[in-house]
Amino acid sequence: MWRSGWRTSGVLRRLSGRSASLGAWRWASTTACERALLRYRVGEKIHGFTVSQVTSVPELTLTAVKLSHDGTGAQHLHLAREDRNNLFSVQFRTAPADSSGAPHVLEHTVLCGSQRYPCRDPFFKMLNRSLSTFMNAFTASDYTLYPFSTQNPKDFQNLLSVYLDAAFFPCLRELDFCQEGWRLEHEDPSDPQTPLVFKGVVFNEMKGAFTDNERIFSQHVQSRLLPDHTYSVVSGGDPLCIPDLTWEQLRQFHATHYHPSNARFFTYGNFPLEQHLKQIHEEALSKFQRIKPRTAVPAQKPWDKPREFQVTCAPDSLAAGSSEQTTISVSFLLPEYNGCTRDAYFSVGLQGIAEKDIQTVRDLVDRTLDDIIEKGFEDDRIEALLHKIEIQMKHQSVSFGLALTSYIASCWNHDGDPVELLKLGSQVARFRKCLEENPKFLQEKVKQYFKNNQHKLTLSMKPDDKYSEKQMQLETEKLKQKVNSLSPEDKQQIYEKGLELQAQQSQPQDASCLPALKVSDIEPRIPFTEVEVALAAGDTPVQYCTQPTNGVIYFRAFSSLNTLPEELRPYVPLFCNVLTKLGCGGLDYRELAQQVDLKTGGLAAAPHVLPDDSHLDTYEQGVLFSSFCLDRNLPDMMHLWSEIFNNPCFEEEEHFRVLVKMTAQELSNGVPDAGHLYASIRAGRMLAPAGDLQETFGGMDQVRLMKSVAEMTDIKPILRKLPRIKKHLLNCDNFRCSVNATPQQMSQVENSVDSFLRTLSRSKKERKPVPPHVVEVRLCPLPARRARKPSESKPCSLAFDPVLPCSHLSLAVKSPDWRATWAGDAAASELEASRRCTLTLIVSSVHFLERTLPAHLSLGVFSFLWETFYFQKPAPKGPGRHSLVTRKLVMDPTFKPCPMKTHFLFPFPVNYVAECIRTAPYAAPAHASLKILARLMTAKFLHTEIREKGGAYGGGARLSYGGIFTLYSYRDPHSTETLQSFLKAIDWAKSGRFTQQDINEAKLSVFAAVDAPVAPSDKGLDCFLYGLSDEVKQAHREQLFAIRHEDLVDVSNRYLGAGRSTHGVAVLGPDNASIAKDPSWVIR
């Protein structure tokens, strides 16, 4: 994977990283931290390493241990912290001299087999033989990083062995270089009469990367601001230069750069350091001698005067206004600071402006600098920044080890002190002292590094209508040049090598040499999370989850959209995006932004479509509000929410216009990196009622809508929609809340949340829901202050019942003599198996409704039963901790899934392809089989067909919580051919051509995702949003364990085969003649 320097996140973002579900509980970190502090001494020898530094970093609750390897000089940093999610990484300084992509191609190729593990592609095979929480590799501008993480000690040793052998003893076979890097090959490898073309995974990856205008611009900024050395070239590879790289050059690059003397090892977590050092020394470092690597990157020579350049890019068909697609930035070299390159730099600019406004932006930057030098910064702005650092140090990162290794990588790569970089608390203290001693400290720095800095670059980029055509022409000329230089013998050799590669890719691989965990290594049960539910402000349910949140309080609220008029729904994402940015109460948008930074870790709102776990045609729609703060700031945070809900400012038209343009631009920028997701959303649009709303909220429809809104000359009609949406959304009518905090904070939290809710408005009369059928689902909470054990469960209406053999929402019909004689044998046997005094009717079981009744009738029966047999359990006594959480689910008894094929035309050189299939919801037994099947198809068929043979950067299969089975490809040179590969994959699955070992590996991979650690901030979130209890998750877990070969073949035939379930297809990419001729496709 290639990382461009411009997009490397800042310190705070990398340390907070909330995108995955990997937890780090800092509150309990003292054990590993103190153990390391007491155990290690400077000068101590451990398995060929010598300890050089032992330092406590209390602000991150860890102990840093620095070592060096005696024989090779390799550096090692261990961060001891009480986190089960342990991480390893090794990085090499890799400074390329040209844009042929040597470090990037090498990153791919070393993972294709090694001396100890010579099978093809051990990296991808280990994804299915491990319980890793993360595995990947990254090529940055001047280093290459290989990280993995896992919670299992045995798994850590297995992965470490594979990574060490791959990095230091790779096979680097020529055919692997051809597959991963680039090659000349016939369009049809088996037909020498077809034209020769460029192929290769990295080649196609970089073609896709440079369809992103942001990435093009960032690369130009770096290469032109730092032109004297490695940053002037593209480390990932320029598609026009990648074909200049030879296999011998690749091997030489490895020999000079992948040596222990040029390596930096990193370990993190609570596993013993000694075992890591012993394995690293014995399996790798003991086999090398110290060398003096010649990989240092020299400092950039400063300029004596500013420079400016203009470059071009392709027009953005999704951006607002063809005349306003110019980008400009002003950048400064900052040689004394840490950044993503040897010499850091600072850039500020604007995107989406008219070319005539370039000078206006330059003047604005200059005026702003002058103003700061003269007046300085407001104290509150400085405090807001320092508060942000404080809260991010306390915030429970979801993958802390990975964030740390990424954070220190660049500094350490250039011989900086990574431990000093981690001491954020002392850095803040020094900063405060500097300000105290010299109130003009910041003004002087601005003057020094910006106003008086002659190393200043002004770069602008404007669209060129013929840009893509020119790039294609350059590639054609490059190909022609390569082909014309070939002799007949060369062409014959290319043909034979293509056949050889095709044969190798098709040959079954023996992976028995690779280490692997067993299914028996997986924990049989999940740890239960205790949650409570109480009524606040009268009748609003609030879920409380006590967690070690390190003094941070996490608040969420969910508001239903059921009463919102249909014509307003497309504007809900925009409403959410601007709600916290337009000002409120007595605060304008600038003052609100400052208060948010000063008092919280951020306020956010986002639309959600939440599928039901029991029926494909049922879902919940709403908006999730979320925020977090230090405990001392809780009243301030809730006051901000109160002002936003009650007194939002919808009058600032000009700022609203700016936010609209920013939103449209961000959506447009995201398409090249997430094209497969947009294709998947479109392909699933007509398969379930929730699909259309998902497309409206987050698909290409939303991207195109925001483009049209941003182009409007009069934006008042859109602005007037916001108060209308507010009336339906920002009230207590259909509202529930959730809080995660420590036990000591809960009393304060309850009072603050109750006060907040009492400020919210309520409708004087009940609004009718807009969807035709809305069903209320009440879920019984767990008993207060303790987790419910299965043996303690009691029958209650619409509760998750852990005793039942299947995991569905159930209806308790309080009549022991009543019999559902029409339910069929499958349902009856399940009812008998429950052995309950009350009869539990499973109304959403696939085995019952979807097999015995037509879809429209099953929904009708479902709705009828829900309304007819709804009985409520008597409320337990107690002070408000017995309330039921109500979810209002949308149903459409008239919905019928239908197939749809859509081709979105983009001037991309690659495609994003998706095919979606309607299958079974989470609670259905078939869902577990389909989840295993998706992983099995990815690892054992689609990876080979789409990536290795097809040359796409990625591809596979996945199953959504809502039961949509998706086959997809990413940055794919093919489209219709890939759709044929999807058909072959389904045939392969139906035929059952996989072994028990294959199934076990798929289970390991699935459980690695299922058991990924969850941050304290997110504990109980599935229960809050989906009503998904730990008992239901445990039942699903047991279904996963029980999957057999025949189950997988059965669901393949029952759901995936032609005519069995409804399919939807979507492609994002260039014009395709065969699609254009097919009338079944919709061209957009």
Active site residues: 107, 180
Give one DSSP letter per residue of 984-1038, joined into a string: HHHHHHHHT---HHHHHHHHHHHHHHHT----GGGTTHHHHHH---HHHHHHHHH
How far apart CA 213 and CA 676 sit, in angstroms, is 18
Residue 599 identity (one-letter amino acid)? K
Longest CA pairwise span in the chain (Å): 93
Radius of gyration of the chain (CA): 30
- Among 1041, 911, 1062, 889, which residue's Cα sits nearest to residue 973? 911
Count the alpha carbons within 13 Å of 996 in the hemisphere toward its beta carbon: 5
Burial of 536 (0-12, 13-18, 19+ CB in 10 A): buried
Structure tokens at 1054: 């029952």
**Dihedral sign, Cα of residue 405, residue 408, residue 412, residue 418:** negative
Q: Are 1043 and 928 in contact (CB under 8 A)?
A: yes
How far apart CA 875 and CA 223 sit, in angstroms, is 68
Residue 370 identity (one-letter amino acid)? D
φ, ψ of residue 1018 in degrees (nearest 5): -110, 0
Q: Are 203 and 951 in contact (CB under 8 A)?
A: yes
Q: Are 283 and 159 in contact (CB under 8 A)?
A: no
How far apart CA 291 and CA 262 sit, in angstroms, is 9
How far apart CA 562 and CA 547 sit, in angstroms, is 32
Look-up of token digits 């809502």: 962
Q: How far is CA 658 from CA 78, 315, 458, 654, in A?
A: 46, 21, 23, 6
Structure tokens at 1017: 């901030």
Q: How far is CA 792 from CA 158, 210, 787, 840, in A?
A: 41, 58, 10, 17
CB atoms under 10 Å from CB of 240, counted, come to: 18
Task: State the first-to-last Cα distance of the chain, in angstroms, to the nearest integer.
Answer: 31
CB atoms under 10 Å from CB of 743, counted, come to: 11
Q: Are 557 and 541 in contact (CB under 8 A)?
A: no
One-letter-per-residue 3-state SS of 814-861: CCCCCCCHHHHHHHHHHHHHHCCCCEEECCCCHHHHHHHCCHHHHHHH
How far apart CA 103 and CA 95 sit, in angstroms, is 8
Residues with Cβ < 8 Å from 905, sequence gap 6 or more?
1069, 1070, 1071, 1083, 1084
Q: Are 26 and 552 in contact (CB under 8 A)?
A: no
Pairing of strands 307-313, 456-463: parallel
Look-up of token digits 């077809």: 194
How far apart CA 1043 and CA 1036 sit, in angstroms, is 11
Give one DSSP letter per residue of 342-397, joined into a string: SSEEEEEEEEEE-GGGHHHHHHHHHHHHHHHHHH---HHHHHHHHHHHHHHHHS--
Residues with Cβ < 8 Å from 646, sequence gap 6 or more?
585, 730, 759, 760, 761
